[in-house]
Structure 1
């Protein structure tokens, strides 16, 4: 089974897709319950949504589903949001707090460690290699971590999520110009709502790699799925009309992020 798909580019921007994969090892698939087999927490169609928007962008995509192991979680198992409901490194429940494994089939600590080595580590090895390669070309690299989620999930947050949820961990993970490029583009997008460092302020990928002082910048974009799906429910179908309208915002956004990256001064080594 393929673990990660990488397409190298010559832009300073790297598009990362940790949650679009839907593949399951047979031994894992057999142990999921009916709820788990729906794979409801997939970042549905996000790789299609971004396809071709920034010529030259590198892409790194995890192929296996997040229920196997979550590539956007700390491999040591630390919570992203202490004190708040969330799902972990090898989730036991879905985003609604409902079990995803058949009784007695939940992964134990040893199995989680094996999954980290088999799936999580190769994804991040590929991403880290591309970060270093791109930084070697430009002096900077920008990880744009691409996500989507249902807009209403009471187990995780109250109310309705904005359309664009930008995460920079309080401005720590990227240069102000890169953050501003995303914020200003989203705020100006007619008919859409947005927030900076709201419920989702950047996952482990963003926080782990985002070190502006080293020339590595990271920013997370969590899209509400109503922006590009026909419905936020099975079969989670792609809505081309909605998606085309959204792509008309995301394309200029990525272009602004790229321009901001080109304008940055190279960090002292």
Structure 2
């Protein structure tokens, strides 16, 4: 089966949605606790948020099929921690965001299985990402990689209290140029509906940090959205009214990437 889909656009903007997938193979699902089989830590509906905007703006969209429980595409293949000293779920998670185990006793994957998942799921996604960025850069001389993510507004294992609505990450200004970061910040400051932070709890994951090389004409920005702003966090149901308001801000942010 295909492990990802890529819709190529003509503008120098690639929208990557590495946690949009929720598919868990049957043989893996049988080894998981029943709650984990729902893949609750999916970045629900981010493709539904971004794809209409990508069509409008001419951006490319890359998204995986599989759940992050199969493998987390936003982690280094070597398994290094993104935030040393903090609890996190890792390359092949064995716990969820609630801190509870995903696998039944004795069913966790070993080193050989982890390597198989890297080869089957992780490498093809990253190869597609590299090739699409290269294609767009060759056409335009520069490219922006936009990492679209979302998460529940309250995840005590990862952060205290309520997460801000919009969480922009640029690896503390390393993954994109100062002009782009400033312009994105201005977009958020100009609206009053949502609170936001730049390089707060989420500074950008592996993809943002690894592929953002502004000195080479490749900028990268991560946006972590609070799910309560466009969906129901308990049922995972899409909220069209809320989502339309979020998309208005997303459109303005993405336009800054193309300005």
Q: TM-score range by the shorter chain?
A: over 0.9
1:168-204 per-position Cα deviation (integer Å, ceiling 9, x unaligned):
0110001112212221112222210000000000000
Q: Work out the number of aligned pairs and report it.
A: 257
Structure 2: stretches of 5+ with no match in the other structure: none
SS at match of 1:23: coil
Q: Find the counterpart in structure 2 of residue 38 from structure 1.
A: 38
Instruction: State which drifts further: 127-136 or 187-196.
Output: 187-196
Instruction: State which drifts further: 215-224 or 21-30.
Output: 21-30
CA contact (8 A) 1:3 1:123 kept: yes
Deviation, structure 1 residue 130: 0.2
Runs of 4+ in 1 over 3 A off after TM superposition: none
Q: Find the counterpart in structure 2 of residue 61 from structure 1.
A: 63
SS at match of 2:20: coil
Q: Find the counterpart in structure 2 of residue 263 from structure 1.
A: none
Instruction: State which drifts further: 178-187 or 5-14.
Output: 178-187
Deviation, structure 1 residue 162: 0.3
Q: Find the counterpart in structure 2 of residue 244 from structure 1.
A: 244
Q: Find the counterpart in structure 1 of residue 182 from structure 2.
A: 180
Q: Find the counterpart in structure 1 of residue 13 from structure 2.
A: 13
TM-score normalised by the chain length of structure 2 = 0.97
Q: 1:135 aligns with which of 134, 137, 151?
A: 137
Deviation, structure 1 residue 25: 1.9
Give the CA RMSD over aligned residues.
0.9
SS at match of 1:99: coil
Counterparts of 2:42 and 2:17, CA distance in 1: 11
Q: 2:89 aligns with which of 87, 90, 93?
A: 87
Counterparts of 2:53 and 2:138, CA distance in 1: 23
1:142-176 per-position Cα deviation (integer Å, ceiling 9, x unaligned):
10000000011111111111000000011000111
TM-score normalised by the chain length of structure 1 = 0.94
Instruction: State which drifts further: 127-136 or 183-192.
Output: 183-192
Q: Find the counterpart in structure 2 of residue 155 from structure 1.
A: 157
Counterparts of 2:199 and 2:225, CA distance in 1: 13
SS at match of 1:6: strand
1:55-93 per-position Cα deviation (integer Å, ceiling 9, x unaligned):
210111111100000000010000000001111000000
Q: Find the counterpart in structure 2 of residue 264 from structure 1.
A: none
SS at match of 2:52: coil
1:14-56 per-position Cα deviation (integer Å, ceiling 9, x unaligned):
0001001011222212211112112110000000011221421
Counterparts of 1:182 and 1:98, CA distance in 2: 36
Counterparts of 2:30 and 2:188, CA distance in 1: 42
Structure 1: stretches of 5+ with no match in the other structure: 260-269
